[in-house]
Amino acid sequence: MYIKRNISWRLIISFGWKSVLFYFFWSTFVVLVHMFFHMNGINLAIPFAPVSTIGVAVSFYLGFKNNQSYDRFWEARTAWGGIVNTSRNFGNQVMSYITNHHTKHGTSKDTIKSIQKRLIYRHIAYLNALRLQLRKPSSFSLDYHGHINNYHLGRPETSN
């Protein structure tokens, strides 16, 4: 997944130049073969019905896959939003409940601030560990050569 706000043409060309060249030469070859057969009186017509049937089937398949991927994205977004809201509530509760109001003998403000800070920092450490675990590259993150593809992680390319 590419997470930056905009995509530069340099990035698109760096990933797609091989495919563009391949399909340029392939389509040129197909056109030249068609022209050769057409000049020699051979008709290379393809029936329309099977092509349209396969096209409709592929469009349904791609539509369902697209819906699935969007649903997975939305589910992850709502789960992370729930974690953010719960964390915010936890921070508010730490600041509200860990006070001097309910103690029989007073505790210094520095001790209370220290306890609040320690709890909140531990929670931030937990959230950071969760973030790192969720962002850990999986086998789906590898390119064809077995190297980690850093572009979808929003990181610059590194040499492996």
Q: Is the pLDDT of residue 103 over 80?
A: no
Query: Domain map of the chain by residue range?
Result: 98-160
Q: Is the pLDDT of residue 160 over 50?
A: no
Listed in sequence order, the DSSP H helices in the chain are 9-39, 48-97, 109-134
105-145 confidence digits (pLDDT tens): 878 889 999 999 999 999 999 999 998 888 877 766 666 66
With H, G, I as helix, E, B as strand and everything else as coil, classify residue 148.
Answer: strand
29-70 confidence digits (pLDDT tens): 999 999 999 888 888 888 889 999 999 999 999 999 999 989
Q: Angle 48-97/109-134 helices, nearest 10 degrees?
A: 170
Q: Is the pLDDT of residue 88 over 90?
A: yes
